[in-house]
Each structure stands twice: as C-alpha cells, then as structure tokens.
Amino acid sequence: MALDLFSPAKLGAIALKNRVVMAPLTRNRAGEGGVPQDINVTYYEQRATAGLIITEATPISPMAHGYPALPGIYTDAQIAGWKKVTDAVHAQGGKIVIQLWHVGRISHPSLLPNQAEPVAPSAIKPAGQAFTYEGLQDYVTPRALGIDELPVIVQDYVHATRCAIAAGFDGVEVHAANGYLLDQFLRDGSNHRQDAYGGSVENRARLLLEVVQAVVDTIGADKVGVRISPVNPFNDMKDSQPQQTFNYVAQALNQFDLAYLHAVEGGIHGGGESEPFDFEALRKLFNNGYIANLSYDKAKGNAVIASGHADAVAYGVPFIANPDLVARYAKNAPLNEADSATFYGGNAHGYTDYPFLTA
C-alpha cells in the first residue's frame, strides 16, 4: 500500500501518527520575559492533531533575540511556560519539538541586552530593517564574533537543549536556515572569515556541526533535527555555490544519525527569487528522515511521500488558519483563509479563533 500524508511514520525516536508536520511559525505573542502564556498553550493544543509540531523559532539566549514578543528557552520561567504547552499537546496525543534559534545579525541593539551590537560571522550589514518595539529600524553593522566566543554560543545551544528536555519536548530542531546565525556561517555571502570558520565549505559548516554534536550529546541524535534553506534569499542571503555547500552539509550531518533533515525547498518571506537547486539530489545524500517544506498542498504532499522524496511534509500558513488541518485534508474539506495582517503579534484574533470543522 502506497504511503501518504495519513500514514504513520518514525523520525528517529519520534513516532508520528501522520506525516502532516506543523512548520515553525513566528507569531510574536509571548508574555513578559519571553515566557509562553495561556494563549500560546491554546494555540499549540488546537493543532496537536499534526503528526509533529515544530514550535516557532525560540531564542537560546538573551543575545539570540531579533524580534519583539518572542518566547525563549533559557530561563526557569520559560521552561515552566513551555511545560504547559508540551503537557497540553501530549494530552491530545501529539508530538512537539522546539526549534532552537540564534538570529545573529538579524537583530537590533534595542532588542538586545545593554543595547549590544548584534553578532555575526563577519561585520556585514544586511539590507533591510529590523522589527523592533519602536517600529521598523535599519539594521546595523553587526560585530564579527571572535573565535573564542564560538564555544560560548555552542554552550548556549546545550543549555537551551537541557531546558527543552526539562520542558518536556519530544526533541529539538537546530535552526540553520532563513538567514539567521548558523545560516550566516554556512553561506559565503555573509561569511567572509579568514579563520577556521570561514573560506572553504568545510570551515563554514564547522560551527553548525559543532552545535549539532553538542546538542546530540545532550539529548540523543534520535531526538534532533536540523533545518536548512539552501537558496532562500530572505534576510539578504546568498551563496556562490549553494548546491556544493548544502550537498556537503547534508552528507556531513549523516555522521550524527539524526532524526531528520528539514529543508525549505526554495525562497520564502518575499526575499526575492531563489536560485535553481536540485533538492532531490540533496535528499538522496541524507540517510535519515527528510521533511519537505514550501508551498505544498495535500496533493503535492501525498505525491512527494509516495515517491519517497520526503518522509513528512511541513505546512505553515495552512496550519495558521486551520488548526484541524489534518481532518480537513482527510475529509477534502475546504480550508479557512489565513489573515496575514494577524500573523505577527496581536491577541487571540487570527491566532486561536480560526474555526474548526463542525461536522
């Protein structure tokens, strides 16, 4: 019998009741101190019929923040807030992993402790503007991280992973996509370093591999996924040889025997046109589970699972507007339309008030 979106699956240690994955979605509705609040519990609980929920990207330290009202995963209060989320999802029979995030240069001093400069592999100012509590402000030139600071960042990922375990998550996803810190190291448009973390693809991938090794040592490889976006130009990103760069990354990650690799298969967030890229070739290089992401609908999702290209498919906007997306796909029911004006920040409107199927 052919596999489809409704077939159970296993990604490492994580058993999925179906292959419909909720993609990580920044919603900017955390409480004071980056603590998840009751409205966040409701939001995730509503979507627990997904085979797997990947949380919104979650900063691993005070210096990892780049937007207002983000939840964190580095304080006791944040752990307690997330524990309510994981308990609610588990009570509904769902599985949930947390996406670990450091934004790097995509921040602003007003969002960082003591008005600190954002950090990056190199002192290259990204085009565009930061979302701050005072509105849009131009990005600043980031401070290039010293080589002695990189082990500290690796330890921030370890601490966040320990916090995730304490909060009851089924695993963690290392965010190495969409122009944030680890992606900034991977791609040569943002990494002009002359040391062991710059130049060759082996050097540019070094920090990601050190982070993954440390996270694996903390929680176990079968509970760790990695997200990449080889050709997403969002956040002023580019690479001179993306196929070579990310084919290397996919193969290098095999050494860890991870739960999955999660790939954004193109450009998202209006970053511009993405370059051509052979995602089938990339997928064949990675030995374990593969989550495909970008503009999939039910038919396309079923097709890539049946073909063997993907083990699961991540859906973003459809899950914002359809907490019961799995049931709607199963019944071929019409989908709610998403209100993009309520994606980022606000209250329950456009967050927890989308209607469920009534029959």
d(CA 124, CA 203): 18
Say which of 180, 248, 290, 329 is annotated catalytic: 180
Q: How many CA atoms lie within 13 A of 233 on its CB side?
A: 11
d(CA 172, CA 251): 20
**H/E stretch holding 16:** strand 14-16
Amino acid (1-letter code) at residue 208: L
CA 353 to chain centre: 24
d(CA 141, CA 218): 34
If you count them, how many residues does the chain have?
359
139: annotated active-site residue? no
Q: Can you read off the two tokens belonging to residue 339?
A: 């209100």
159-190 per-residue burial string, b: 16 or more CB within 10 A, e: under 16: ebbbbbbebbbbbbbbbbbbbbbbbbbbbbbb
Instruction: Tell whether the torsion through CA atoms of 274, 275, 276 and 277 is positive or negative.
Output: negative
d(CA 259, CA 22): 16
Angle at 178 between CA 173 and CA 186, to 5 degrees: 85
Catalytic positions are: 180
